[in-house]
Amino acid sequence: MLRVIQAYGLTSNPRKELPPAVDDVSFDVRAGRVTALLGAPGAGKTTALKLMLELQQGRGITYFKGRPLHRIPHPGREVGVLLGDVPGHPARTVRGHLRMLCAAAGVPARRADEVLEVVGLVSLRDERLGTLSRGMDRRLGLACALLSDPHTLVLDEPAGGLSPREARWLYGMLHAHAAQGGTVLLTTADPKEAARSAHRVVTLERGRLVADQDAEDFARTRLRPRVAVRSPHVVRLAALLTKEARTGHRSVEVVHEGGNRLSVYGSSCAEVGETAFRHGILVHQLADEIGDMGPGAVEPPVDWPESADEPQVPDQPHASDGPLGPDAAAHCSTPADAGGAEPTSPSPADASCEAPPAVAADAPGEIGALKAPVPAPPSRVTSRRAPTPAVRPAEAGALDGPPSLPPPISVRPAPSPLRPLRYEIRRAAGIGTGFVTGAVVLVVSALAAVVLARVGHTPQARLVAAWPRELPLPPAALGAGLLGALAFGDEFRHPALAADRGTVPRRLGLLAAKLLVATATALMLAFLTVGCDAEVLYIVYGRELMQVPMDWLSLSASWLGLVVGCAWAGVLAAGVFRSTTAGLAAVVSVPVVVVPLVQKALAGSSVRMAAGLPLRLREVFLLQWPFGGERYLWAAARVIAQPVGGALTLSLTALLCAYLLTTLRSRVR
């Protein structure tokens, strides 16, 4: 069988004097199987997944179909990941988040509606991510993992916070994915849940691998078997079982679970049934169990699809739902009257008091007496739940129908500039932060312009831009820098692309898309700011303040260059330092720190020796341009020659080089 995931020597970096959370863990995950990574809280399950997905530094390597994750061109199409809560902005809608991921993965936008219908979130598609409950967040995380139709699913505690019915549906969907040839790796802290939901169980303890077993071997060797009994005379039966065990010097433990239920450890179904028969005690249920299969237990649906290579056991007795519901793994009634009359001959179902033999390894589903809905001859089956028609959760309003997977899709590579650009536009327009920031900038700028005009002694260019000399930057430039910093900073805070490579993939295409969208946003903000300020000044003070200056072209170029440069500085700084705050700090530091340094450097003696250099450069490079192009180039040179323009150009160059360096380092790994 194909080994899709191969993990070798996973070891996390130790912190201070503490041992590593994961130490030399190696295992493999096969196609068509659900593999559970089992361990108590703190055993290293989540750390192991992060090491496999290259989200955490450490030693070891993991191959997905023979290649490490960073060597896969589009990891999101190969591996669907769910780690913790859905990594999305809390103000984004459910549907908007999925459509944004569709653009990033290169799949049609309608795919978002398909997966929402499968996971039963159609009615909540306009809800904000921050308002979802834990169960709804888990289902949205599964929708994100299934979005690009990946072959492999890696899920961390997928059933956490789900009700038993939702957990049963979830595991049914995972088994359906495996039955179609997919691969599933999930983590859990519950041994009984691992044995019920997986074909194979890999056990971690204190960061080390302690067992790698089939689910049947795990249930037989690591879970405690018992006999479940239901009777209206549980107190009397418990006393008799304890007395007989003490007389026979056997180690038997009888636990009253509450109501009419007993759990008998160290005995068998036949021995308990004989004791009840001899003393005339009515028994409603008698079943061999392993783990918790009593009230409230999460059981897999009986109509899970079976994998193609699953062994069939047609001649074994098949337990089914008895009169008390699906709590019994094997149902056996032994009625007797008060006088101890001989019971009637047992029916085929009643004859199966002893635990049915476990099915072969790799069979999914139930632990202990029943591991899977194995086909059985009709004469052996007393009752079986009728097949439920394929009703999707969104259509039925519940999760009682059989699990259904999204239809398969073929991901066609789109032109390289369009996919990140489409993603960035949906990311920026999906939340109201940009619109609120723009509105605040326009209001503050208009009020500042009115106040400056009232005070006087402010040049017209600074008046229209609402840029007092006391502030390092005008409101429009600060707003553009903040929006640019949010472009990368929000992704590191809410990493929507965490499943791709690292926390946020450092790709030049994604950077180009962010710079392009930031440029368009900054230009729009610059034009709107000047227009609103001019209109407000005209309304308040009349036409005398609205004279067009002679050098309006160079002033406009300087203004647009300043706003766009601040936006770029925010994008690059946030991408380098992985923080919105760092991005905004880099924007503010240009006039506060870099400009004085540039001015001091230009005032040095070595610069005075180069007097006339700009004129000579102009003579060399600007004389041969047709159609008067040298005028525009000279205007750009004048903008760069200004202290703020030169400092901003220097800062952008440094940040771009730092971003390219970190990009190359991530690709060399």
For 459-488, what is each residue's pLDDT tens digit? 888 888 898 888 888 999 999 999 999 998
Confidence (pLDDT) at 615: 57
Confidence (pLDDT) at 290: 67
**Portion of the chain with pLDDT greater than 70, in percent:** 72
Highest mean pLDDT among 140-154, 316-330, 413-427, 533-547: 140-154
For 226-253, what is each residue's pLDDT tens digit? 889 999 999 999 999 999 989 888 888 8
pLDDT band at 491 (very low <50, low <70, confident <90, very high): confident
Confidence (pLDDT) at 63: 93
Overall average pLDDT of the 284-311 stretch: 51
Strands, E, within 365-413: which ranges?
Answer: none
Ordered by where they begin, the domains of the chain are 3-220 (3.40.50.300), 418-668 (no CATH)
CA 193, 197, 203, 204 torsion: positive or negative? negative
Angle at 200 (CA atoms; ends 198, 203), nearest 5 degrees = 105
Least confident of 138-152, 266-280, 397-411: 397-411
- Which residue would you say has higher pLDDT here, 501 or 417? 417
Q: Which residues are 265's β-sheet partners?
A: 253
Which pair of structure tokens corresponds to residue 571?
Answer: 């994008």
Angle at 355 (CA atoms; ends 333, 223), nearest 5 degrees = 125
For 505-530, what is each residue's pLDDT tens digit? 667 888 889 999 999 999 999 999 99
Confidence (pLDDT) at 327: 35
Tell me: pLDDT of 300 over 70: no
Which pair of structure tokens corresponds to residue 650?
Answer: 């220097």
Least confident of 129-133, 271-275, 362-366: 362-366
For 41-63, what is each residue's pLDDT tens digit? 989 999 999 999 888 889 999 99
Q: What is the CA radius of gyration of the chain?
A: 34
Confidence (pLDDT) at 635: 56
For 390-445, what is each residue's pLDDT tens digit? 333 333 344 555 567 777 776 555 555 688 888 899 999 999 999 999 999 999 99
Dihedral angle over CA of 484, 489, 490, 492, nearest 10: 150
Confidence (pLDDT) at 600: 73
- Which residue would you say has higher pLDDT here, 350 or 276? 276
Reported as type and span, the H/E element at residue 263 is strand 261-265
Q: What is the mean pLDDT of the chain?
A: 76
Residue from 297, 275, 285 nearest 192 by CA: 297
pTM: predicted TM-score of the whole model, two decimal places: 0.70
Confidence (pLDDT) at 221: 74
Residues in contact with 130: Cβ distance below 8 Å, sequence separation at least 6, in sequence order: 90, 91
- Which residue would you say has higher pLDDT here, 179 or 315? 179
